[in-house]
């Protein structure tokens, strides 16, 4: 025994009144609500004014034939989700094949067999319901990711600190709804500034969750340190504590992050830093020349408890700029390959009026390089210039 499909609203389109009436009666007996249209243009009008679960569409009709209706149907953002079963005579095989290429789901041969009619309609409606559930699930996930992205944005600085004699700029462009990169800048005791740029391994929601954890651990450790603590031990303590907590508590997840953390002493320009497996930040001279790089001083954070980190230091002289970035810049891929360090260095070493101008130039170049290609990694940059 064949089970009747769940009731649906169906649009029957045929220029032959006898065919319309026969299909309408049989579908109504199956429990469906049926509307009819005598030609393609009328079918589109009805479909745009009411919601249907399925359309049975004749091929040969005046006004608009079946192929012309399909061409408009699947260009419509709403109608394209409604399945179409073509009504065909036995000598229209090639035409039906073309209609299926255009997007039709199935076909119903003439003369109409009640069993085949019920089977084809039932199968098409079941596929429609499955697709609807998948679409609703995808839309729900999209909403959840959008909420996650909004929440994640609160983990980034709402405003960049403003200090006399210093200029700070940042750029953050996630590749997906949620990002694994982050940057942070915040004031510390003794007229100092915390600077962080980090890239959590992997992408998507998992990386975003750990991004929030890494950021919170680092900032809370730094902000709870008593005034008078030297900058190098302060930076080392934050990185070590974060590393040990992640490795011991979440080691089974195999999540880790590369982190560049610097403590800037605003009076003297001294930077005490820990580069935990991160891309080497650039120090640019007054004329834009590459003065030096700040190489890694330890492994990535979160891999092994009690990992050894060391602190480095440098003086940011008046006119010099610190440029820290994630590999989303150098690994951005376009038609001619990766953006690469050579392009980055060439752009970074051109004189720029402000730190923001420097980041804008790099970001625009990366966007131009990738073009319409899909982005696979987040792009994050932080520029700190000492003015005097």
Worst-scoring range by mean pLDDT, 114-128, 303-317, 353-367? 114-128
Note the maximum CA span of the chain: 93
Per mean pLDDT, which of 38-42, 204-208, 227-231, 276-280 is the most reliable?
276-280
Q: What is the pTM of this model?
A: 0.70
Q: pLDDT (tens digit, 9 = 90+) per residue, 99-126?
A: 888 889 888 888 888 898 899 899 999 9
Q: pLDDT (tens digit, 9 = 90+) per residue, 10-43?
A: 999 999 999 999 999 999 999 999 999 999 999 9
State the pLDDT confidence band at 5, using cuts at 50, 70 and 90: low
Domains of the chain plus CATH, in order, are 9-145 (3.40.50.2300), 155-386 (3.60.40.10)
Q: Is 280 helix (H, G, I), strand (E, B) or coil?
A: coil
Worst-scoring range by mean pLDDT, 120-134, 168-182, 332-346? 168-182
At 126, give phi and psi (nearest 5°). -65, -40
pLDDT at 1: 39
Per mean pLDDT, which of 128-137, 201-210, 224-233, 317-326 is the most reliable?
317-326
Percent of the chain with pLDDT over 90: 63
Worst-scoring range by mean pLDDT, 84-98, 241-255, 284-298? 84-98
Alpha-carbon distance 76 to 73, whole Å?
6
Q: In what order do the strands lie in the sheet with 192-200?
A: 181-188, 192-200, 257-265, 270-276, 312-315
The angle that helices 40-47 and 66-73 make with each other, rounded to 10 degrees, is 30
Q: Where are the alpha helices (DSSP H) in 9-92?
A: 17-29, 40-47, 66-73
Query: Could you write out the three-class secondary structure of 283-343?
Result: EECCCCCEEEECCCCECCECCCCCCCCCCEEEECCCCCEEEEECHHHHCCEECCEECHHHH
C-alpha neighbours within 13 Å on the C-beta side of residue 40: 19
Q: Is 263 helix (H, G, I), strand (E, B) or coil?
A: strand
Instruction: Tell me: pLDDT of 3 over 50.
Output: no
The overall average pLDDT reported for the chain is 90
Alpha-carbon distance 71 to 65, whole Å?
10
Instruction: Tell me: pLDDT of 135 over 90.
Output: no
Mean pLDDT of 278-305: 94
Alpha-carbon distance 136 to 143, whole Å?
10
């Amino acid at each position: 025994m064949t089970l009747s499909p769940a009731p649906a609203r169906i649009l029957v389109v045929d220029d032959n009144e006898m065919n319309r009436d026969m299909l309408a009666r049989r579908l109504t007996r199956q429990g469906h609500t049926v509307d009819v249209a005598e030609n393609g243009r009328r079918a589109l009008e009805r479909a745009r004014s009411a919601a249907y679960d399925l359309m049975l569409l004749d091929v040969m009709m005046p006004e608009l034939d079946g192929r012309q209706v399909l061409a408009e149907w699947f260009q419509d953002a709403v109608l394209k989700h409604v399945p179409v079963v073509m009504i065909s005579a036995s000598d229209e095989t090639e035409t039906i094949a073309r209609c299926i290429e255009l997007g039709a789901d199935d076909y119903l041969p003439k003369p109409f067999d009640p069993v085949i009619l019920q089977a084809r309609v039932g199968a098409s409606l079941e596929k429609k319901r499955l697709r609807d559930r998948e679409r609703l699930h995808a839309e729900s996930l999209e909403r959840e990711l959008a909420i996650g992205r909004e929440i994640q944005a609160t983990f980034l600085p709402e405003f960049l600190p403003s200090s006399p004699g210093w200029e700070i700029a940042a750029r953050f462009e996630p590749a997906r709804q949620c990002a694994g990169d982050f940057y942070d800048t915040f004031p510390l005791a003794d007229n100092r500034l915390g600077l962080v740029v980090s890239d959590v391994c992997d992408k998507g929601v998992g990386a975003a969750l750990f991004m929030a954890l890494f950021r919170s651990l680092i900032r809370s450790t730094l902000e709870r340190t008593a005034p008078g603590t030297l900058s190098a031990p302060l930076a080392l303590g934050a990185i070590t504590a974060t590393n040990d907590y992640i490795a011991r508590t979440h080691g089974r997840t195999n999540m880790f992050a590369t982190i560049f953390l610097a403590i800037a002493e605003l009076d003297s320009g001294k930077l005490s830093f820990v580069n935990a497996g991160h891309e080497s930040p650039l120090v640019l001279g007054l004329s834009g020349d590459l003065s030096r790089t700040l190489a890694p001083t330890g492994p990535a954070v979160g891999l092994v408890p009690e990992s050894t980190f060391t602190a480095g230091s440098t003086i940011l002289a008046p006119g010099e700029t610190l440029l820290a970035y994630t590999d989303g810049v150098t690994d951005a891929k376009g038609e001619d390959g990766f953006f690469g360090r050579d392009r980055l260095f060439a752009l970074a070493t051109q004189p720029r009026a402000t730190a923001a101008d420097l980041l804008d130039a790099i970001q625009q170049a990366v966007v131009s390089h990738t073009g319409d290609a899909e982005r696979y990694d987040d792009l994050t940059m932080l520029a700190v210039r000492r003015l005097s």
